[in-house]
Structure 1
Amino acid sequence: MSLLTGLTMLGVGTHEAMSQYRLQREGIRVRGLVVRHREQFGKDGPVHWAVIEFIDAQGSRHTFEGGSSGVKGLPIGGEVPVRYLPEVPKGARMDLNGRRV
C-alpha cells in the first residue's frame, strides 16, 4: 500500500512540475485582480483562498482560485501576476515565486 501511495505522489508531483514548466515557457503573463477570498473551515480553523480574475488576450474574463491557501499580501482589490496557456485559460495560476505549488 505504501508503494502505491508513493508512486501516486510521485506521479502527481511530476505532473505539477511539468505543468509549471510549461506555464513558464509558453504561458502568457497578465495582471489579475483579487476579487474576493473564499473561506473554508478545517480541523485547525479557517483557511482562506484568494479568488483572482483576469482578462485574456481575446478580452474574455476568467476567474480562478489560487492554488495555495493564505491571503497575506493578497488583499481584495490587489493586483497579482497571472500566467495562463492560450488554449486553456481555465488553468491559470498566480505567477508568484512563493505561491507556486
Structure 2
Amino acid sequence: MKREYLVVYEKGPENWSAFSPDIAGCGSLGDSIEETRSNMREAIELYLHECMKAGERLPDAAATGVDFEEFDPGHETKQYVVEWLDVTLPERNQELAAAS
C-alpha cells in the first residue's frame, strides 16, 4: 500500500536536504535532489516501519502546504522543491509474522 507525504527539498551550498511537515524529525541529505529524494523515501519508510513495530499510530499525510516563514524567516535558502513523495507503507501482516 502506498501513501504520499508532502516533502520539502532545500538546496544548500554543497548539497540538498529534505523534510516532511507531517513527520517531525525525519529528514535526509544528498548530493543531488535525486539522491535526497531516494534517501528521504528510505528514511520515511524506516520511520513508518519502526512506528508500526512499536505499536504506534502512523502519522497522517495531512500537510497541504508549507509556511516558509516558519523555518526560513530570512529567506536565506533561495531554491526549494516541494512535492508529494510516494512511500510504501509497512504491511501489518508481515510485521505480525516477523514478531512471532
Is TM (by shorter chain) over 0.5?
no
Q: Which has the higher contact order (CA 8 A, sep 6+)?
A: 2
- Name the TM-score, length of structure 1 as normaliser: 0.30
Structure having the larger proportion of residues in helix? 2
Select the structure that is richer in strand.
1
